[in-house]
Structures are given as structure tokens and as C-alpha cells.
A and B are shown apart, each in its own frame.
Chain A
């Protein structure tokens, strides 16, 4: 199974900051990584698929990049509505595997 190492586990940011989360796969995942946002008590919401393709409705301040084993997810100009947990998901190989998550908090 592919392991996804996500960091950091938590992040503290001020409004307007840029933050970056990384995920490293245990093997090449050919850009098949997605990023989800989850707010307390809610189901996750898909923000980005295939490394950098924004889903409909995802604000342009969200972005993703990477290749091979190493991927990143960024939020530029953090807004209050971005306070949530974020997860990466590799879907190159079954079983799919999630990163452990990153909790974004306001400083």
C-alpha cells in the first residue's frame, strides 16, 4: 500500500497569510493526488484533483503542485472561512490512502 506522509499536522496562520501543506507518497503516484477540506461536523469537500485541477467552486486562492512522490497544497491570502482540516488523497493505486491531515487554525 502507498503511504502518504502529510505535514505539518497543524498550522497557525493570520488572515491574509499564505500557507502550504505537503504530502509525500511512498512511491510515484503519477500526479493522482487530491486535496480535501473538512470543517467540523461536515463531510469532506473536494477542492483539487490531479495535483492542480481546481474543482468547480474552489476559490483561486487554493492551488496545488508537485510530481513523482512530492506534492504541495497552498492557500494564499487565508480567509476565516478557510479554517478547517485538510487531507491529501492518493488515488493512483488501490487501496486509496489519505494523509493524516492538517488542522489550520487562526493565529
Chain B
């Protein structure tokens, strides 16, 4: 059974940094691309980043480009999202998701990030 478990969220001040983790199990992590997708409170879904299975390519939404970095450690079955220069508009539930033929198929339960002074 595919499982994705996010962690690392919390309450932080504007301008600060945070690093999210997503531990994967139930599949060969090193064979699949992985996404980060977020959802602001009572708002819609926003795709924010994709990393290829071998980290050879990384893509970002314009809203986070230059501030967020997606990475992975295939030896630890773990996906990361390093978030710098956080803004109030980054407040959201952050989901990691496993790709299946380009589509985010399996999603974690999400981790909440709140940016507030």
C-alpha cells in the first residue's frame, strides 16, 4: 500500500524558512517523480513543484520559484521542500504526491504551514 507522510510544518514568521519532509513507503520511491501541491485555507489547489525520479529535472510554479527548493533522497525514500523567505500567502496545507504517468495519483494527508507574525 502506498503511503506518503508529510512532516515539518508549523507556525513561522514572515521572512523565515522551513523544510518539509515526505516519507514514502509501499512503492519503489526511486522510480517515480514526486510533486508538492498546496491548498490555502478554504481555497483551491495550487501545484507548486515537481522533481523527476533521479532529481535530473525540477520544475516550479512562478509563485515559489527562487524561494522554494524541491529535493529528494532516494536512499531514505524521502522528498523535501525547502521554503525560504516565507510570506503570509504561503500559508497552506502542503501535500506531497506520487506521479503516475505524469498525474499526481497518491497524495499524503498534508502538513500545515502557517506564516504569521
Contact = CB atoms under 8 A, between A and B. Distances in A.
Interface of A: 1, 32, 34, 36, 38, 43-46, 49, 55, 87, 89, 91, 94-101
B95 interface: yes
* Contact-size category for B: 20 to 34
Question: Which 5 A-B residue pairings sit nearest by Cβ, starting from the closest?
Answer: A43-B107, A96-B47, A98-B45, A101-B44, A94-B59
18 contacts: A36-B45, A43-B95, A43-B107, A43-B109, A45-B107, A46-B105, A49-B103, A55-B105, A87-B45, A89-B45, A91-B102, A94-B50, A96-B47, A96-B50, A97-B47, A98-B44, A98-B47, A101-B44
Contacts of A96: 35, 47, 50
B32 interface: no
Interface string B79-111: 000000000000000010000011111011110
Contacts of B107: 43-45
Interface of B: 35, 44-47, 50, 59-62, 95, 101-105, 107-110
A34 B103 contact: yes
| Central interface residue in B50, B101, B102, B103, by most chain A CB within 10 Å | B103
A95 B102 contact: no
A34 B103 CA distance: 8
Contacts of A36: 45
Contacts of A34: 103
Given A55-B105, A91-B102, A100-B44, 18 more contacts: A32-B102, A36-B45, A44-B107, A46-B103, A46-B104, A46-B105, A49-B103, A87-B44, A87-B45, A89-B47, A89-B103, A91-B103, A94-B59, A95-B47, A96-B47, A97-B47, A98-B44, A101-B45
